[in-house]
Amino acid sequence: MRMSTHGRPNSRCVFSANCCGPLIIARELYLKTSRFKVGLFQYEALFQDLSERGHSEWATHFRERSEQALALDRHGKLGEWIEAWNSLPDVTDTNLDAARDAVTIRGALPADTRQQLVELLKSFHPWRKGPFELFDVPIDTEWRSCLKWDRLAPHVDLRNRNVLDVGCGNGYYGWRMLDAGARMVVGLDPFLLFLMQFEVVKKYAPAASHFVLPLTDADLLNRPGAFDVTFSMGVLYHRTSPIDHLQSLQQSLTPGGALVLETLVIEGDQCNVLVPDDRYAKMRNVWFIPSVPMLLRWLHRCGFRDTKVIDVSRTTREEQRRTDWMTFESLDDFLDPLDRQLTVEGHPAPMRAVITARRK
């Protein structure tokens, strides 16, 4: 996928309810920041598309929930991140290429702004999903998400599909989905840092039909589904009710729509589920890690058919590790130093499955 910004309208408005998202957000952000530029949190094209496809309730709900989530008093660093975004260099005639491992932005970046760009990009630390490359600046993220994408992409048809990516992080996979032919990609992630990382890339590909909203699966409506394909990758085990999560995913889909589910699993039969006493791989928010047969049973009970296991892989240091762009603890710190088949708590080391299914 190569998207060029050449020739797009150069509107100079500074946020309005019609062009750049909810007015309440625009007003708060304008009052709090000094150099606003067009392009941040532009959701109107998404809301209009949902309405035109007969999903006006989804559009209204997404708009209202996004307004609430983006209130500046909800996160103390949002204003700082917006200032950093505003300070990113303006580059004309950029293009985005998502056909390779690193989602890449190319363009004529002035040489004297390169170091400034590096410093601004690092102000959005930690970068977890990727990799990216912006104007020859490589962002070596904690996860080499391209490896997961390579495992699942051959098994999913996204051509002309409307796609939902729940727990999308900074939107890396969404760019790969557009390259695979998706008509539109809507990501949901409540972490505003990841939202801002997405906005950094979207700044240089503003016309792309790719949006990330600061929401979760709890914000999905129990209404006729608006999406042809829904992804949930790395979310299920963080939910206190995995069944509720699967039911929300099912409700998001059109009849016959496809689910792509990626999650931690353990070895075992239909009776096996790991419920950690406290932490799993130093994570507090891990609740249920099922065996693959148990997971297939959950999917069946939640209204899915044609379930297929397309991959089961152990997480390796090749795929997840500490880097200069994510300097906190990573996989090496989560495993028992004497037995790499166990976490530091004595649980089975991370193993992940990718499963596809369809809504009945």
Please write the tens of the pLDDT for every residue from 167-179.
999 999 999 999 9
The pLDDT, as a whole number, for residue 205 is: 93
- Asked whether 214 and 194 are in contact (CB, 8 A), the reply is no
Q: What is the bridge-based pairing of β-strands 137-139 and 132-134?
A: antiparallel
Could you read off the pLDDT of 223-233 as tens digits, one per residue? 889 999 999 99
pLDDT above 70 (res 28): no
Question: In the prediction, which pLDDT does 72 show?
Answer: 72
What does the alpha-carbon distance between residue 51 and residue 10 come to, in Å, rounded to a whole number?
A: 26
In this prediction, residue 189 carries a pLDDT of 98
Asked if pLDDT for residue 324 goes beyond 50, the answer is yes
Tokens 């005639």 -> residue: 93
CA–chain centroid gap for 215, Å, is 11
- For residue 188, the model assigns a pLDDT of 98
Q: In whole angstroms, what is the distance from residue 172 CA to residue 193 CA?
A: 14
> Looking at per-residue confidence, does 260 or 34 come out higher?
260
CA dist., res. 22 & res. 35, Å (int)? 19
Please state, rounded to an integer, the average pLDDT across all residues of the chain.
90
Residues 52, 59 contacting (CB under 8 angstroms):
no
For the chain, give the percent of residues with pLDDT over 90.
86
- For the chain, which residues make up each domain, given as ranges? 143-359
Q: Residue for token digits 């700044």?
A: 203
- Among 29-38, 51-60, 298-307, name the one with the lowest average pLDDT: 29-38
Tell me what the mean pLDDT of segment 192-205 comes to. 97
Mean pLDDT of the region 283-288 = 97
Alpha-carbon distance of 203 to 147, in angstroms, equals 26
Angstrom CA distances, 34 to 63, 80, 113, 357, stand at 25, 11, 21, 48
pLDDT at 131 over 50: yes
Structure tokens at 184: 């539109």
Distances (CA, A) of 50 to 21, 44, 84, 94, 285: 14, 10, 31, 28, 33
How are beta strands 253-264 and 351-359 bridged, if at all? antiparallel
Q: What is the mean pLDDT of residues 265-279?
A: 97
CATH superfamily, domain 143-359, is Vaccinia Virus protein VP39 (3.40.50.150)
Q: How confident is the model at residue 3 (pLDDT cuts 50, 70, 90)?
A: low
